[in-house]
Amino acid sequence: MSTVLQHYNHLHQIPELGFQEHQTAAYIANELEKAGYKVTRNINNTTGIVAEYDSGKPGPVLALRADMDALGHIIDGVHCARHTCGHDGHSSILLTAAEELIKEGSIKQGRLKLIFQPAEELGSGALAMIAGGAIDDVDMIIGLHLRPKDECPKGFASPAMYYSASTTVEVNIHGIPAHGARPHLGVNALDAAMMAIQAVNTIHLAPSLTYSVKATRCICDAGVTNAIPSKAYVCWDLRAPTNPAMDELKAKTLQAIKLSVEAIGAKADIEVSKEIPAAEIDNEVSQIITEAIVDVLGSEGLKDPIFTPGGEDFFNYPIERNVKAGFWGLGCDLTPGLHHPEMKFDLSALENGVKITKACALKVLG
């Protein structure tokens, strides 16, 4: 029988935040070494893992990638890590597929590389792996993600996930403090923050684009009720369907913040703290995934490509290294939604993930 549930049950019990996946990485690396892979740990001084199997014959280098990190939540007032995005499922699928591919002697040409990546939720894990040389010799890379039930039910899979670009902008606004009875002597940082939020809300891109930009955090407090606050912090979340659209949205956002704050004499320290690119998917790779899905689930189990406003740092791989990339979605009856603290899914769908992952590898290296 497949070991996917055994791996999942273990990983699910040890959720760890980005770049802190020490137990997770140790377990995965040990299991890969037992299976016969050459394993390199601590890629770029992180918890990242690269495992490799060389067939000894000429051929392409295929990388299969899974993310390992859990999400941070505040539950009943307690900060905790919890697997609410399915990364434990992704790692279990890839680990099981890797074991079976070697056991069955399926790799007939080229090399198979397994990328177990930290810190996807932080948006910096893929970049850390790239900087560590994880895909310098890779010709093609494939990733996957569990999907919500209303998007892709169990028994179905989508051959291409078109994620949007996402950007986080953090701004510290500096005004001038004053007594509440003498507002003319100060510059109200709260007023500046409100003006910046309103200015950003007036931004428009072409109506044909699915985009959004909105403030998601605002902190401002003078400490008392009768003083003009001199400092404010505001965070914006930006989403756009393409990388050029994100470039336009980001430029307009930064300009709106800067000019609106300066209009009343305040200053803004602006930081673009996280940038995740939109999907760059290769048609050849999507065709390979399509054929693999049909092999496993039949043509009736093949969903259309999915377009989502969510972000996925996987797409740094094709953008930074110009490698052919594909990314597919696995139906698993996931409810009530990704990142929900009570997220759950049908664990039996993990077997479909293992079979489709193996089928993809065989079409390239078999």
Whole-number pLDDT of residue 163: 97
Structure tokens at 24: 């997770």
Report residue 1's pLDDT band, with 50, 70 and 90 as the boundaries.
low
Mean pLDDT of the chain: 97
- Do residue 65 and residue 142 come from a single domain? yes
Q: Are residues 266 and 287 in the same domain?
A: no
Angstrom distance (rounded) from CA 144 to CA 255 = 36
Ramachandran bin of 19, using left for φ above 0, alpha for ψ from -120 to 50, beta for the remaining angles: left
Strand order in the sheet with 140-148: 38-43, 48-54, 111-117, 61-67, 140-148, 324-334, 157-158
Same domain, 180 and 141: no
**CA–CA distances in Å: residue 165 to residues 43, 67, 123, 334, 355:** 26, 18, 11, 23, 30
pLDDT score of 119:
98
Q: Which domain holds residue 79?
A: 4-164+279-365
**Distance, CA of 268 to CA of 235 (rounded, Å):** 12
Rounded to the nearest angstrom, the gap between the alpha carbon of residue 210 and the centroid of all alpha carbons in its chain is 19
Residues 36 and 130 in one domain: yes
Q: What is the pLDDT of residue 261?
A: 98
Same-domain pairing of 327 and 192:
no
Residue type, 171: V
Query: What is the Cα–Cα distance from 69 to 38, expressed in whole angstroms?
Result: 22
First CA to last CA distance, the chain:
22
Beta-bridged to residue 335, according to DSSP, are: 344
For residue range 227-249, list pLDDT tens digits in order: 999 999 999 999 999 999 999 99
Query: How many domains is the chain partitioned into structurally?
Result: 2
Q: Which residues does residue 162 pair with via DSSP β-bridges, in sequence order?
A: 307
Distance CA 96, CA 107 (A): 15
Phi, psi of 220 (to 5 degrees): -155, 125
pTM: 0.93
Check whether residue 256 and residue 177 sit in a common domain: yes
Instruction: Indicate whether 130 and 26 sit together in one domain.
Output: yes
CA atoms of 356 and 156, how far apart (whole Å): 11
Q: Decide: 251 and 237 in contact? Cβ < 8 Å.
A: no
* pLDDT value at residue 212: 97
* Of 243, 260, 276, the domain-final residue: 276
Q: What is the pLDDT of residue 267?
A: 98
Handedness of CA 360, 151, 235, 68 (dihedral sign): negative
Domain boundary among 233, 250, 276: 276
- Same domain (yes/no): 354, 295: yes
- For 120, the token pair is 């996807």
pLDDT score at 222: 96
Q: What is the CATH number of the domain that holds 231?
A: 3.30.70.360
* Shared-domain flag, residues 119 and 97: yes
* Residue length of the chain: 366
Contact criterion met (CB below 8 Å) for 63 and 150: no
Q: Do both 286 and 242 map to the same domain?
A: no
Q: In this structure, what CATH number is given to the domain that contains residue 159?
A: 3.40.630.10
Answer yes or no: is pLDDT of 167 > 70: yes
Confidence category of residue 38, pLDDT binned at 50, 70, 90: very high
Q: Are residues 52 and 145 in the same domain?
A: yes
Same domain, 260 and 178: yes
Q: Using one digit for the tens of pLDDT, what is the confidence trace for 276-318?
A: 999 999 999 999 999 999 999 999 999 999 999 999 999 999 9
pLDDT tens figures, 110-153: 999 999 999 999 999 999 999 999 999 999 999 999 999 999 99
Could you say which of 276, 295, 322 is where a domain stops?
A: 276
